Every structure is written in structure tokens, then in C-alpha cells.
Amino acid sequence: MKDMRTAFRTIGIALAAALLASASCIAAEVKVMNSGGFSAAYKALAPEFEKATGHTLSTAWGPSMGETPQAIPNRIDRGEPVDVVIMVGEALDGLLQRGKVVAGSRVDLALSKIAMAVKQGAAKPDISTMESFKRTVLNAKSIAYSDSASGVYLEKVLFPRMGIAQDLKGKARMIPAEPVGLVVGRGEAEIGFQQLSELMPQPGIEIVGLIPAEAQKVTVFAAGISATSQHPDAAKALIDFLASRKAADAVAMTGMEPVASVR
């Protein structure tokens, strides 16, 4: 953690210099809706953006999809004010199609992969191959996964494709509006699946690793400007900052691959 804090401070100096050079709009309160997958990177980078530009960020948190009131599309449909949305790319596209996000404003920020965790101190099962991964899932007494992109993929696509969906009925469940790591940490599920970036900050768990490449789904996290934004210039400045090469190291340290590094 000490090394991470030192790295963030170093990154912050470079980011502040770049933002001071580019900031050109009047200071504003930028309202952001952010999903869990990008939260760790956002929390690390947000203070530098505020310090360098004079803008302040007011952030609401919620999943990219799902039926809970906190889900970003549901918040927007209720008319909650927002300038920037940060969420799973396919969910953002849904908002674009409905005119809730400004056409052409989508910017991809990071690529995220699914990982598995167990309670701290528990044995770490082998998930290095598809065979061992399948065996681990079938042998688990209880399984938890997100009600957002990664969990929907596991429940609707991967487990049926592996031919084990019926075997998991009664012991596998989606977790609404709460980090899966917290459920695993409390001992309420033997194994849990979520984006690596969402598992890493959670206490009381140990990350076993990424699920096998043959089972993996890479999720793109993206940002866009709300069609009702009161501060579109400041919103664009924030998105450009989060997508910049200077922010890439901070993004990478939270378990994601910054899109800026692969352009």
C-alpha cells in the first residue's frame, strides 16, 4: 500500500501539470455517475483533477445495469442530474441509443477481466485450466457473482456453455448493489466472481486469480457526457483526463488495462 501511495503521488504531479496547462473552463461542480469496476481508479485520480482544474466532483455510485434503484440507467430515468457517466461500454451504448448520452461523446477508459476470490485464510482452489475451473465451481458449496456485466455473463452465457447451469441452481446467486468481495469476506459464499478491479479493494478476501482465458470476458469501461449535462465542457475535461496516457499508470494499478496504453 505504501508503494501504491507513493506511485499515485508521483503520477499526481505529472497529471496536475498537464491539467493546469489544458484547463480552460470556469470551475464547476461536475456530477458523475460511476459504476464499481472503475471506482478504484476514479477515487485515486479524482483529487488530482479537482486540484488542477478547480472543478469539484459530486459522485453517485451504482451498477451499470440491473433492477436496483442504484443502477445508473435507473437513476438517469428518474431524472437525477448528471454530467458524466462511467460504466460498462455496452450499457453506455444503450443510453446513447436512447438519447440519454451525447452522441459521439463515448470514450473508452479501461479493459477489465473477471477474477475469483475466497475468504481470507481459505484454501485457494486451482482455476488455471478450464477443467480445474469447472471442477472448482462444481465443488463449491456456495457461489456469489455480480448483478452487473460480469455476473450476467457468468449466469447467462458461461455456465450454460459449460453445461453446468443446472448443477449450480440453489447454490449460485447474483448479489445486487453490493460488492461480491464483501459477501465472500463475511463467509456467506465460498467463492465469488467479479471484475478484478472490484475485488481488489475489498477486505477479508484473497484473490485466487483471473478465470481461464477460454472462459474470460473482457469488459470495456467507458465514459460519456449526459444529454442533460449543465457543464459539458467540464464533463469533457474530466473524460479526457481519465482517458489520458498520464492517467494510465493509476488505472493499471487498480487491476485494469488502460485503453490509453493500447492505442
Sequence-separated (6 or more) residues with CB below 8 Å from residue 86 = 32, 33, 34, 35, 38, 42, 109, 221, 222, 223, 242
Instruction: Tell me: pLDDT of 67 over 90.
Output: no
Average pLDDT over residues 100-120: 97
Domain boundary among 210, 231, 249: 210
Domains identified in the chain, total number: 2
Q: Tell me the pLDDT tens digit for each residue of 139-160.
A: 999 999 998 889 999 999 999 9
**60 and 38 both lie in a single domain:** yes
* CATH code of residue 131: 3.40.190.10
Question: Residue 36: phi, psi to the nearest 5?
Answer: -60, -35
Please indicate whether residue 262 or residue 255 has the higher confidence score (pLDDT): 255
pLDDT above 70 coverage of the chain, percent: 89
Averaged over 199-226, what is the pLDDT? 97
pLDDT (average), residues 32-51: 94
Sheet (strand 219-225) strand order: 56-61, 29-34, 84-88, 219-225, 107-112, 257-258
Query: Per-residue pLDDT for 25 more than 60?
Result: no
What is the pLDDT confidence band of residue 3, given thresholds at 50, 70 and 90?
low
Please tell me the predicted confidence (pLDDT) of residue 21.
43
Q: Which pLDDT band holds residue 22 (cuts at 50, 70, 90)?
A: very low
Q: According to the model, what pLDDT value does residue 27 have?
A: 87
| Shared-domain flag, residues 22 and 96 | yes
- 224 shares its domain with 100: yes
The domain of 152 spans 114-210
- Cβ-contact 221, 86 below 8 angstroms: yes
Give the pLDDT of residue 23: 47
